[in-house]
Amino acid sequence: MKITGKIIGLFFLLAIVSPLWAEDESEDEKNTISEETQSVQDEPSLSKGPYIDDDSYFDDDSLFFNAPPLVFEVPVFETRSFNNVFPNLSPRQKSTVRSNIGIRNSFERNEAPTLNPNPDSGVDLYSQVMAKKPSHIIEALILVPYGKRELDLLDIYNALRRIKNIQDFTLKVREKEYKIFQDTTRLESAQKRKPIPDPPQADTLPLSETMYLRFVDLSMGDLYLRGDISVSLYGLTYSLTNFRDVSYSIFKVMSAERFTAIIYLEPVKEGILIYSMSGLYIPSFVSNRINLTASMNYRITVLINWITDGLRKEENTIKGNHFYQIQKDD
């Protein structure tokens, strides 16, 4: 009865105060009602009420509530086949895609890509890479078959979170092992470049996420990269872009925002589709002195091997539901 009386008192106070607010509105504000407002006027809405500066009006417990996190459980859409996304590959290309290496192709800005996704697939990395006006581009496509179980987008997301593991992968060139990335770590932010550990295994899938990374490259030294993850209807896109200039010794060889590596991953019926396109701009007086295509290919190979290893690790994680939990940012 005590609580009920206080609630009635609140409504009584609102009834007295609300006409005073109405007097402050202009005639234009009263008469202007959009069609959109009319269409939803019957739906419940939240509005600001009067501020009551009286600690004794409510009990302490009535002033607080626990809001649940904004988490949505989204049912899994029907899985597409590999052919739905890449329908125009030749039989030989389809066979190569299923190998450990996959398909690789390099071209320059005046040339066209070889790997062309179905225009209706919603997959378009080419326009995103070309927006950076690169001088050299490399594309790659590989299909990683399922092992112990089929994987979903949350598995892929967790596989991409182990940034520290990238430094563990070596590459054999002319019978010699090379550690392309000497060190790989997350950073606190673009301004505070303090190393931080990788986060623990996630049980929710964000719609988007941005992280800042530092790769110590065998040839180019420190690479400061911004990693952007975005989730779409069928897949997940992971984009890496240099947010600082890249220098060799005392010479700047690449300006900030002129390198991008975009990796698209999708669980298809046959396995995990990994499609990437990378582009960078380097002046000709630099690119003419190095084998830029091979250099880019080595680094993309390390990234794909890292992703594949992460997917295999996720296969050992048992998940019993058939829903994604997607964490929506406020």
| pLDDT score at 174 | 87
| pLDDT score at 249 | 72
Both 136 and 261 in a single domain? yes
Both 308 and 215 in a single domain? yes
Both 114 and 256 in a single domain? yes
Both 56 and 109 in a single domain? no
| pLDDT score at 283 | 79
Both 96 and 115 in a single domain? yes
Q: Could you give the CA distance from residue 261 to residue 239 in angstroms, rounded to a whole number?
A: 6
Q: Could you give the CA distance from residue 235 to residue 83 in angstroms, rounded to a whole number?
A: 15
Both 12 and 103 in a single domain? no
| pLDDT score at 134 | 94
Both 26 and 141 in a single domain? no
**Domains: count for the chain:** 2
Q: What is the pLDDT of residues 209-228, one digit of tens each?
A: 999 999 999 988 899 999 99
Both 218 and 106 in a single domain? yes
Angstrom distances, CA of residue 174 to CA of 67, 120, 171, 177, 178 = 59, 42, 10, 8, 10
Both 19 and 61 in a single domain? yes
Domain boundary among 65, 82, 104: 65
For the chain, list residues with pLDDT below 50: 1-67, 71-75, 321-323, 325, 329-330
Range of the domain at 132: 74-327
Both 204 and 304 in a single domain? yes
Q: What is the pLDDT of residues 21-56, one digit of tens each?
A: 333 444 444 444 344 444 434 433 333 333 334 444
Both 187 and 237 in a single domain? yes
| pLDDT score at 144 | 96
| pLDDT score at 319 | 63
Encoded amino acid at 25, one letter: E
| pLDDT score at 273 | 98
Both 136 and 55 in a single domain? no
| pLDDT score at 321 | 47
| pLDDT score at 220 | 86
| pLDDT score at 77 | 64
Domain boundary among 13, 34, 65: 65
| pLDDT score at 327 | 53
| pLDDT score at 235 | 97
Domain boundary among 65, 97, 115: 65
| pLDDT score at 190 | 95
Q: What is the pLDDT of residues 312-327, one digit of tens each?
A: 999 987 665 444 545 5
